[in-house]
């Protein structure tokens, strides 16, 4: 076996492989004292590596989404599985993906779901605060399906339907564009629907202060009134500490308002503690207006944030909560 300090070329003075490689690079490039540049490059790599990691880790979620899509295509090709599920051909696929995402939530975030008993047996409209990504909602949906055998549809922004390869994933999970008529019809059929009124704007431009950004949106309230269903507020603790955005940069906000595409960079992917809290339902009232119900829902969601989230959010504290058994009162 050749040792690391042995000569890489024949000669009276043995040199290490690193010295030999440096010499060859210097001869090839014609740069004198190339070892100084290499040392500086190694130093930069060492300094910038943590920064690169925090921008690359969110890509894990993208990989999981496309893994889910791949599994759905494989499932679809296995026609013999169709006979295994009498109610719906995709039931088995939904259970499979729920297991995948719930496993990721458990391992990476120690994910917990509290207050699931507040979700009615019949139809209802879940209104939640939107983090930088919808990962917490996916964890919630997976845990609800596994534990309660309930499936929750969700209303998504229009750009989601233009993502390459996502069609089968959206179709299988019944993701909705969000027209009021479609939502009212689904609720009247007994479905459970979730919506984040803040949408992409809240996802990108809220921050560690957990500010609710709804603007003048009240269509969800009118949907609940027309369908005569309760509204259930929901919030995930530390959701903005897991992944954050650079939405505080004004030019990015201006660019989004102009082109309406979520091009704001995100960073993080930290394994912080995530706990989803489902609040008490706001019952249907026949004489309430959409404006009044919107205000009531916003107040209920704000109360969940104040009760379960330390503000401003702190990444280190959220990481340490992975190792704490005590938590804020449900």
Write out pLDDT tens, residues 229-274.
999 999 999 999 999 999 989 898 899 888 888 889 999 999 999 9
pLDDT score at 7: 45
Across 11-17, average pLDDT: 53
Please check whether residue 297 is in contact with residue 221, taking contact to mean a CB–CB distance below 8 angstroms: yes
What pLDDT sits at residue 2?
A: 40
* Higher pLDDT among residues 69 and 329, named by residue: 69
Which among 73, 104, 114, 130 is annotated as catalytic? 130
Cβ burial of 225 (10 Å; 0-12, 13-18, 19+) is buried
Enter the tokens of residue 231: 């509204």
Count Cα neighbours of 223 within 13 Å in the Cβ-side half-sphere.
Answer: 27
Structure confidence at residue 49 (pLDDT): 59
Question: Structural domains in the chain?
Answer: 60-79+90-322 (3.40.1130)
- Residues 195 and 226: their CA atoms lie apart, in Å, by 16
Is 308 catalytic? The answer is no
At which residue do the structure tokens 């009212």 appear?
184
Burial of 41 (0-12, 13-18, 19+ CB in 10 A): exposed
Supply the pTM of this predicted model.
Answer: 0.80
What is the structure's pLDDT at 47? 59
> Across all residues in the chain, what is the average pLDDT?
85
């Amino acid at each position: 076996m050749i040792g690391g300090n042995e000569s890489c070329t024949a000669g009276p003075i043995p040199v290490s492989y690193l010295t030999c490689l440096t010499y060859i690079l210097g001869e090839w490039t014609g740069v004198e004292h190339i070892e100084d540049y290499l040392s500086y490059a190694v130093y930069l790599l060492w300094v910038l590596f943590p920064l690169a990691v925090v921008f690359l880790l969110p890509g894990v979620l993208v990989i999981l989404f496309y893994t889910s899509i791949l599994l759905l295509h494989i499932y679809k090709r296995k026609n013999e599985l169709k006979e295994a599920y009498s109610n719906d051909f995709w039931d088995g696929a939904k259970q499979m993906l729920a297991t995948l995402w719930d496993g990721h939530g458990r391992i990476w975030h120690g994910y917990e779901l509290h207050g699931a008993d507040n979700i009615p047996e019949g139809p209802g409209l879940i209104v939640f605060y939107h983090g930088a990504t919808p990962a917490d909602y996916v964890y919630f949906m997976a845990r609800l399906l596994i534990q309660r055998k309930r499936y929750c549809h969700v209303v998504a922004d229009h750009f989601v339907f233009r993502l390459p390869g996502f069609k089968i994933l959206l179709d299988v999970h019944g993701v909705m564009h969000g027209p009021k008529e479609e939502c009212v019809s689904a609720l009247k059929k007994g479905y459970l629907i979730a919506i984040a009124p803040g949408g992409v704007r809240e996802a990108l431009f809220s921050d560690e202060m957990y500010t609710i950004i709804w603007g003048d949106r009240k269509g969800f309230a009118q949907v609940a009134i027309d369908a005569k269903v309760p509204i259930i507020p929901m919030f995930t603790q530390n959701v903005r500490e897991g992944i954050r955005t650079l939405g505080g940069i004004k030019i990015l906000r201006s660019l989004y308002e102009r082109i309406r595409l979520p091009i704001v960079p995100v960073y993080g992917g930290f394994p912080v503690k995530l706990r989803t809290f489902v609040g008490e339902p706001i019952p249907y009232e026949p004489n309430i207006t959409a404006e009044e119900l919107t205000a009531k829902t916003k107040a209920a969601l704000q109360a969940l944030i104040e009760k379960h989230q330390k503000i401003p959010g702190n990444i280190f504290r959220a990481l340490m909560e992975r190792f704490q058994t005590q938590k804020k009162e449900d």
